[in-house]
Amino acid sequence: MATKQVTIVVEGSDQPERKVDLIPETTVGEALVKAGLDPDELHMLSLDSTRLLANDEDLYAMTDPGDKLSVSAPMDAGTATLLVLGITVAAGVLFIRVWVKMQDTIEPHLRSWESWIVARLPRTRRVSRPSSRRPKFVQKVLRRVPVPMSSSPVSLDRWLRRNGWRVNTDACHGRFRTGFGTFPGKVVPRDGNYEVYLRNPPSWMLSGRFSECVISKGRGWYWIHQHRHLGDLVATIRGTEVFLMQKYAEHRRCA
């Protein structure tokens, strides 16, 4: 019986690559189980990363020995309840009031302590250091979030360039790629996580069951409300692509 050995990689994760031996008629779900992964939580992408593979598809027939297959977790989207929103706003207002009151009381003491400490610091000569050539946004990414595929920042830069994403001062712009088209958008870092925006999304995402997950921000930009943040730049991009493919499949079934 001829066997094929393939490699399964979990995108946006520091998990090691998994070698799996396939026998004839081995399905996608069976291969994920052999690799120690949950087929209900993770989704395998085709070799060209253009579509999701169903768990009952024959993985043995569509692969060659040595092929590398990507597995990604979807980005869940949902809506926040008014109760949680109200509690968050109330807590924020209370915190601001307490902070302002504390500032009025403590600030004079802090200033006196600061003057006392600065006066006793040893005087040192300032040494100019060359600024990093990497954009500020990439530096912010590398400080806040671990690089997914390697500890080297070069790996993140190379992945972004290879997949058509460009880094600006405040966001990462590119196209989310799926098997039924590409969608322009951007990923913005916010409070240790990432917010996803789409530029002029398709009409089927703005009506029906998907409309409450996609919120207009003006000038053709729409924010995707995430119920679960993946906390990683590459995982957010790949998870958004999986999310779009899932929602398109649901749209085709309902049409």
Give the CA diameter of the chain: 81
> Helix 153-162 vs helix 233-254: angle between axes, to the nearest 10 degrees?
30
| CA atoms within 13 Å, Cβ hemisphere of 173 | 6
- Structurally, what CATH architecture does the domain formed by 4-72 represent? Roll (3.10)
**For residue 4, what is the enclosing H or E element?**
strand 4-10
Closest CA to 198 of 79, 52, 85, 77: 77
Average pLDDT, the chain: 75
What is the mean pLDDT of the segment spanning 65-70? Answer: 89
Maximum mean pLDDT: which of 132-141, 198-207, 215-224: 215-224
pLDDT bin (cut points 50, 70, 90) of residue 184 is very high
Q: Is the pLDDT assigned to residue 162 strictly greater than 80? A: yes
pLDDT tens-digit map of 68-94: 888 887 665 554 445 566 677 777 777
Closest CA to 153 of 161, 230, 70, 196: 161
d(CA 20, CA 41): 19
Instruction: Tell me the pTM.
Output: 0.50
With pLDDT > 90 as the criterion, what percentage of the chain qualifies? Answer: 13
Domain boundaries, the chain: 4-72, 136-254
What tokens were used for 47? 């070799």
**For residue 175, what is the enclosing H or E element?**
strand 172-178
